[in-house]
Amino acid sequence: MHAMTETAENASKNGKIMSALIERKVCPACESGKFSTLFKEKFSDKKVWKFIERKFKNPENVRDLLADGNYELCKCRSCTLIFQRNILSDEYTSQLYDNWLIDEDAESELSKEKLAPRQLAYFANEVLTIGRLMKRPHHEIKVLDYGLGRGWWCQIAQAFGFDAYGTDLATRLVAQARDKGIKAIGVTELNTQRFDFINTEQVFEHLARPLDVLRQLREILGKTGVIKISVPEGRGLEKRIPLMDWSAPRWDKRYLVAATPLIHINTFTQRSIAAMAKRAGLNALTVPIRHHYSLCDTSSLHTIGKSLVRPLYRRLIGSNYVFLQAS
């Protein structure tokens, strides 16, 4: 609602739309008003613009809407979340995900048209982990994929016998999922439902008001229900920000995908996820490590190694992959 009001204000200046941007005035994870600017540069700056040209179908159309706006990264002094101060209004965020981005360049695995078998195996292992955690027959476990993308996760959960639902802010994706036989529902229809498990895979980094969304999800969670949050890793980001190179690959020391302009607008660490969860009435849940080995991908030595090491790494080093339960 907050965002809508500001959009209206922007629109009313001189009777035309001045900007598609709104300003976030508190930390979107913990609501603290104390934060400092880490970095600030115009969207029209050469390096930022290079990113927009690479990701957007018609960058020229966006240029006027961003006008004099700044790509500004702030860090919350309370929970350490790094967030973009100026983001697209709700109205333009819909435009962004429905029309503006180049389809073939989808970042999240769930948004991709085609999925590598190893990725399918990863999701299969994940849904089996949920089954073990809930200690009930799969068909009695009602799961929701919040941000269903192309519907991969839902289809896998369905294939393993779960009562699987999916939703997405992009209405076009909800309609497409229904055509694939997925029980896809609109975000506004969620209130009447209760779920045992809510999956959010690469979703929270995109949200204008992540705490509000987490509170809404908490409301539709069954009594012993669990919410999973998986977001890009924000550790070590601060050193890489001044380089402003969003094309660097994952292994590169300049890798900056966790803070892409207008897209990954929240960059979390474990600490900021925990702070946000606490405010939403949720606590971290420790999943017994053996549950994570429900289905080991033994197709190659590489995948065996990865399947074995990943859960241990998450436990010992920590990661932005967490399970939350009502506190």
- What's the closest the beta carbon of residue 81 comes to Zn ion, in angstroms? 5
- What's the closest the beta carbon of residue 3 comes to Zn ion, in angstroms? 18
- What's the closest the beta carbon of residue 26 comes to Zn ion, in angstroms? 8
Find out whether 182 and 154 touch, Cβ atoms under 8 Å.
yes
Structure tokens at 283: 């606590």
SS3 state of residue 39:
strand
Which residue is listed with tokens 């839902």?
Answer: 154
Count of CB atoms situated within 10 Å of the CB of 303: 16
Find out whether 87 and 22 touch, Cβ atoms under 8 Å.
yes
Q: Is 108 in the site for Zn ion (CB under 5 A)?
A: no
Find out whether 90 and 7 touch, Cβ atoms under 8 Å.
yes
SS3 state of residue 308:
helix
At residue 40, φ and ψ (nearest 5 deg) are -150, 130
Taking the least distance from each CB to Zn ion, the nearer of 30 and 203 is 30
- Distance between CA atoms of residues 267 and 257, nearest Å: 10
In the list 2, 10, 11, 32, the residue contacting Zn ion (rule: CB under 5 A) is 32
Taking the least distance from each CB to Zn ion, the nearer of 79 and 190 is 79
Q: Is 270 in the site for Zn ion (CB under 5 A)?
A: no
Structure tokens at 293: 């080995």
CA 233 to centroid of chain Cα atoms: 11
Structure tokens at 325: 């339960």
Q: Is 29 in the site for Zn ion (CB under 5 A)?
A: yes
Range in contact with Zn ion (rule: CB under 5 A) among 25-33, 56-64, 124-132, 236-244:
25-33
- What's the closest the beta carbon of residue 215 comes to Zn ion, in angstroms? 15
In the list 30, 185, 208, 229, the residue contacting Zn ion (rule: CB under 5 A) is 30
Taking the least distance from each CB to Zn ion, the nearer of 33 and 305 is 33
Structure tokens at 183: 């029980």
Choose among 59, 65, 17, 75: nearest CA to 275: 75
In the list 27, 154, 170, 244, the residue contacting Zn ion (rule: CB under 5 A) is 27
- What's the closest the beta carbon of residue 93 comes to Zn ion, in angstroms? 21
Find out whether 61 and 133 touch, Cβ atoms under 8 Å.
no
Q: Is 211 in the site for Zn ion (CB under 5 A)?
A: no
Kindly write out the interface string for residues 58-97 of this chain, putting x where it contacts Zn ion by CB under 5 A and - elsewhere.
------------------x-xx-x----------------
- What's the closest the beta carbon of residue 80 comes to Zn ion, in angstroms? 7
Q: Is 273 in the site for Zn ion (CB under 5 A)?
A: no
Q: Is 237 in the site for Zn ion (CB under 5 A)?
A: no
List interacting residues with Zn ion (CB under 5 A). 27, 29-30, 32, 76, 78-79, 81
